A and B are shown apart, each in its own frame.
Chain A
Amino acid sequence: MKEFPVFVPVPGAHVAATVTVPDGEPRALIALFQGGGGAPRSYYNSLWTIVSRRMAEMGFACVRVDWRAVGDSTGEFHMTMDRPPVDDALAAIDLAMRATGTTRVGAAGMCVGGVTALGAAERLGDACESICVIKLLVHNKRRVTALDRRQKTFRRRVLRFASRHPQIDRILRRYYWKAQMQDTNPVLQQLARLRRQAPIMLTGFKAEMKLTAVFNALQRKYKTGPFEIRELPLEGPMGLQDRLGYQRAVVEQLAEWFDRTLPATVLHSNGDSATAHAPVTAEH
């Protein structure tokens, strides 16, 4: 295993990245993206460093990136939920693909990094064969913050009433999901599109798993294949949660997921198997 720190030139800046390569030819490239809260490419407590070294043991190359004005990157950090830093992510992926000779990519990200992973996967097209999003952020323009929860009291009353009357509940739910899909959830629509392209694993804490209903609705609406949904452990009372265990679970889940969805050999339609790493093309 070797690690190569690089400065990737992007318009107006250089983003720092670390490319980890395994001994021998890489079976695929895994891109790891942290959130937009100021964590560098190694992520908090070097989580991404640990993940990429583990992946290298399994034969994967990895690339992880400092967003602009974070870590060792230069420039100004312009990022909003509507415009995650997909271009910078793709610039780093492109360099890593050219250097490692891989044509298969897996993308994983946390929070805004997850949204970035989805954006990068969409732009990569068929080259991106596996996606994992940890702590999916569903951008809802009408998102309710902790401070204005009280304003939802009326809605809660309605929902309680509806829960006792299944027909009303059904109508309300239909209206709700329609509004969600049409108005507020481009990420969900993006997920539905990408699910046709590559397997997607969504993982998060138990409290966030209420989104499971959203994914089930997506599958029904867009007739996509199932999403793989996993729960990350975060046990213990508030303040004493087992974050060490949570980090270990992230490492294990990512390793297991990409090992399964990006196998070392691919099966062609004629039944022949071949090694996954095709020679790099001029386009790359």
Chain B
Amino acid sequence: MTVDERLLESHASYADTDSGITERFVSLRLRSGHTLGVLSAPSGPPQPIGWVLCHSFAREQVDLAVTDAVIARRMAAAGYPVLRFHSQGYGDSEFPEFHASVSSHVADAVDAVGALRSLAGVERIGGMGTKFGGAVAALAGQELGLNDLILVAPVVSGNRYMNEQIRSLALTQIASSAQGSVTNAPTGEFLRQLLEDQGYLDWKGLKLTLDVVKENGRMDLLKDVTSFDGRALIVQVSPSEKPQAGLERLATRLASQGATVGRATVLHRQAALFGQKHVLITGPASNDDLFAQLHMEIAEAVAAWLDAPDGGQGFAMVRDAGESLSRGRTHVDPDAMGGE
């Protein structure tokens, strides 16, 4: 018997009548190769703007996937088609072992914009993303002259971001060492030196090359985005309402270029962990998603901005995601935060 491709293809989409959306897997042909995307679309007539959702870098692509999906579905429910996809080097892309960098992310996002135009039949496209994905969306927007941006906790300085990534690896190992009564865990400086010496770092199973670290480190949104005069939403995810300096500077920079910048702050006591593994042990054999509520609050902030009058002129919002665990979203991870 040959494979029943029609049966499989008939399952490539579903409709959610409760939220009024459909989601469909789409095969994308990017310049970098084939990859997979999901088009979230409203069941009813769509708004005239579609959005390309760019994912974050390395392991954050996995840990922010749920955030991205929740935002995409909420936006689709508000009437906007949203395309999220795997950049080359991630998930179900053609070359999963490709060493993705900021330039490959941006190139794939640029191609995805073209794909969404034909998939959703919309001319006006906006870029959006979370953390590193936010930076990618801004850079792709700069390249294509997009007029709409949604940046959730965007990375502003690539150098600082890459340093944080390397330091987080050291911190993880220090935590593991404490559990295993081993005290010789490497420091961030040691890992930096190792990266220089061997040309790559085994970053939790990802080959993080020196070239990629250097290239990403050169990214600086304050310098690289030079001509954006559309509308943008910058979402800060933090434990307090105190504005983050980097996002303040980004908002000021965009406004100085003529952009209409809306601001939203979503509060969560564990916001420092945003982008990292968000599964928390809550019992001998059960875990909870620490950020289940946070995802929804971010999505609601985005939806509110989309709905705001005058293109979000003067939009400002604070939402409190608290730190309560969603009892409905339980994960098992008896091996602590390092579980598989």
B8 part of interface (Cβ distance < 8 Å): yes
Which candidate, B74-82, B177-185, B302-310, is the interface stretch facing chain A?
B177-185
Chain B 11-48 near chain A by CB (<8 Å), digits 1 or 0:
11110100000010100000000001010000000000
Partner of B334, one of A25, A81, A101: A81
Given contacts A35-B340, A70-B66, contact A25 B2 (CB under 8 A): yes
B90 contacts A101, C-beta separation under 8 Å: no
A78 contacts B170, C-beta separation under 8 Å: no
**Complex: A69 Cα to B328 Cα, angstroms:** 10
Within the complex, the shortest CB–CB distance from A118 to chain B, in Å, comes to: 14
Within the complex, the shortest CB–CB distance from A59 to chain B, in Å, comes to: 12
B324 part of interface (Cβ distance < 8 Å): no
B173 contacts A239, C-beta separation under 8 Å: yes
A8 contacts B11, C-beta separation under 8 Å: yes
A36 contacts B184, C-beta separation under 8 Å: no
Partner of A69, one of B96, B176, B289: B289
A5 part of interface (Cβ distance < 8 Å): yes
Question: Among B65, B169, B176, which residue has the most Cβ atoms of chain A within 10 A?
Answer: B65
B285 contacts A80, C-beta separation under 8 Å: yes
Closest to A66 in B: B65
**Complex: A243 Cα to B14 Cα, angstroms:** 37
Interface positions of B (Cβ within 8 A of A): 1-5, 7-9, 11-14, 16, 23, 25, 36, 38, 59, 62-63, 65-66, 69, 73, 86, 90-93, 96-97, 169-170, 173-174, 176-177, 179-180, 182, 184-186, 191, 194, 202, 204-207, 277-279, 284-287, 289, 292, 328-336, 339-340
Interface residues of A in 47-104 (CB under 8 A from B): 47, 49-50, 61, 69-72, 74, 76-82, 84, 95, 98-101
Q: How many A-B residue pairs have CB under 8 A?
A: 204
Selected A-B contacts with CB under 8 Å, 27 pairs: A2-B3, A5-B36, A25-B2, A35-B333, A36-B331, A40-B62, A42-B96, A44-B59, A45-B96, A45-B206, A46-B92, A46-B93, A69-B329, A70-B66, A77-B331, A78-B328, A79-B331, A80-B285, A81-B332, A99-B4, A100-B3, A111-B333, A137-B335, A143-B334, A146-B336, A244-B207, A247-B205
A18 part of interface (Cβ distance < 8 Å): yes
Closest to A92 in B: B11
A166 part of interface (Cβ distance < 8 Å): no
B330 contacts A79, C-beta separation under 8 Å: yes
Residues of B within 8 A of A143 (CB): 284, 334
B62 contacts A38, C-beta separation under 8 Å: yes
**Complex: A99 Cα to B8 Cα, angstroms:** 7
Question: Among A40, A277, A280, which residue has the most Cβ atoms of chain B within 10 A?
Answer: A40
B194 contacts A49, C-beta separation under 8 Å: no
A243 contacts B202, C-beta separation under 8 Å: yes
Within the complex, the shortest CB–CB distance from A155 to chain B, in Å, comes to: 18
Residues of A within 8 A of B334 (CB): 81, 111, 137, 139, 143
Within the complex, the shortest CB–CB distance from B281 to chain A, in Å, comes to: 9
Interface residue total, chain A, C-beta cutoff 8 A: 71
A241 contacts B3, C-beta separation under 8 Å: no
A111 contacts B339, C-beta separation under 8 Å: yes
B333 contacts A244, C-beta separation under 8 Å: no
B279 contacts A38, C-beta separation under 8 Å: yes
B329 contacts A242, C-beta separation under 8 Å: no
Partner of A42, one of B14, B91, B292, B329: B91
Residues of B within 8 A of A111 (CB): 332-335, 339-340
Partner of A135, one of B5, B65, B340: B340
Closest to A139 in B: B285
Residues of B within 8 A of A280 (CB): 1
